[in-house]
């Protein structure tokens, strides 16, 4: 395992607090975070403050038990891919979901430069819809 894979793994495999702390410490100041089109938080966020407000604060306040569980990591030099399943219950509708995802991380000199999300947005959107 390389250092890049270890760094990315540390953002998934601990407690939510540990994962968040590890992620923030690893982000480059101008890191880009792209949420997939069709995902509720779609768009590109730049910098830790924008990423936290646009993605993680919303996940923490709009969902119950939201999780990203990785089953496979792949490393190719400065790129790391994480494949897994999101799960959680959307508070506004009470509907739960399970959706496959892939995250492509790009690193430079031990810092995260970019994360791009790929996700089965149809499964997430079903949780957002009221009956």
What pLDDT, in 10s, does the model give residues 6-49? Answer: 999 999 998 888 888 999 999 999 999 999 999 999 999 999 99
pLDDT band per the 50, 70, 90 thresholds, residue 55: very high
Percent of the chain exceeding pLDDT 90 equals: 89
Distances (CA, A) of 40 to 3, 48, 90, 122: 32, 19, 11, 11
Domain boundaries, the chain: 3-128
- The CATH-assigned architecture of domain 3-128 is Roll (3.10)
Overall size of the chain counted in residues: 131
Could you give the residue ranges of the DSSP H alpha helices within the chain?
Answer: 3-9, 16-26, 48-51, 57-62, 121-128
Tell me what pLDDT residue 14 has: 82
Tell me what pLDDT residue 73 has: 97
| Residue 13: DSSP 8-state | S
């Amino acid at each position: 395992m390389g250092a890049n894979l270890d760094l990315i793994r540390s953002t998934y495999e601990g407690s939510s607090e540990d994962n968040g702390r590890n992620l923030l410490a690893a982000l480059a100041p101008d890191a880009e975070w792209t949420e997939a089109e069709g995902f509720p938080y779609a768009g590109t966020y730049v910098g830790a403050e924008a990423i936290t407000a646009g993605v993680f604060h919303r996940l923490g306040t709009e969902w119950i038990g939201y999780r990203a569980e990785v089953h496979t990591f792949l490393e190719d030099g400065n790129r790391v891919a994480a494949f897994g399943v999101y799960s959680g219950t959307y508070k506004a509708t009470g509907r739960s979901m399970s959706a496959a995802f892939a995250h492509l991380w790009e690193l430079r000199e031990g810092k995260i430069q970019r994360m791009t999300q790929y996700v089965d947005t149809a499964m997430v959107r079903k949780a957002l819809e009221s009956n």
